[in-house]
Structure 1
Amino acid sequence: MKTNGVKLDERDLRIIEILQREGRLSKSELARRVHLSSTPCWERLRHLEDAGIIEGYEARVSLKAFGPLTQVVVTVELESHLPADFARFERAIQDHPEIHECDSLGGGIDYILKVLARDLESYQAFMDQLLSAGLGIRRYFTYVVTKPVKRSPPPVTRLTGPEGRKISP
Structure 2
Amino acid sequence: MKLDAIDLRILDAIQRDGRITKLALAEKAGLSPTPCWMRLRKLEKAGIVTGYHARIALRRIAPVASVMVELTLANHRQSDFERFERVIATIPEIVGCWSVGGGIDYFLKIAAPDIDAYQRLIDDLLDRELGIERYFTYIVTKTVKDETVLPIASLIGSP
User: Of residues 86, 102, 110 in structure 2, which corresponds to 1:107?
Assistant: 102
Amino acid at match of 2:151: P
Give the TM-score normalised by structure 1. Answer: 0.91
2:2 is equivalent to residue 29 of structure 1: no
Give the alignment of 1:33-112 within 5 angstroms. Answer: 33-112=28-107
2:157 alignment partner in structure 1 = 161
Between 1:61-70 and 1:109-118, the stretch displaced more is: 61-70
Percent of aligned pairs with the same amino acid: 51
Amino acid at match of 1:33: K
- How many angstroms apart in 1 are the aligned matches of 2:130 and 2:67? 20
Amino acid at match of 1:94: A
- How many angstroms apart in 2 are the aligned matches of 1:45 and 1:66? 33
2:114 is equivalent to residue 119 of structure 1: yes
Amino acid at match of 1:160: I
Q: How many residue pairs end up in the alignment?
A: 158
C-alpha root-mean-square deviation of aligned residues, in Å? 1.1
2:40 is equivalent to residue 17 of structure 1: no
State the shift of 1:161 in Å.
2.7
Give the TM-score normalised by structure 2. Answer: 0.96
Asked which structure has the greater RCO (Cα within 8 Å, sep 6+), the reply is: 1
State the shift of 1:154 in Å.
1.5
- How many angstroms apart in 1 are the aligned matches of 2:145 and 2:154? 18
- How many angstroms apart in 1 are the aligned matches of 2:131 and 2:158? 47
- How many angstroms apart in 2 are the aligned matches of 1:23 and 1:16? 10
- How many angstroms apart in 2 are the aligned matches of 1:65 and 1:27? 31
Q: Deviations over 1:38-74 (max 9, x none)?
A: 1110111011001000001000111112222100000
- How many angstroms apart in 2 are the aligned matches of 1:35 and 1:8? 15
- Runs of at least 5 residues in structure 2 that lack an aligned partner in the other structure: none
- Runs of at least 5 residues in structure 1 that lack an aligned partner in the other structure: 1-5, 164-169
Between 1:67-76 and 1:134-143, the stretch displaced more is: 67-76
Runs of 4+ residues deviating >6 angstroms: none
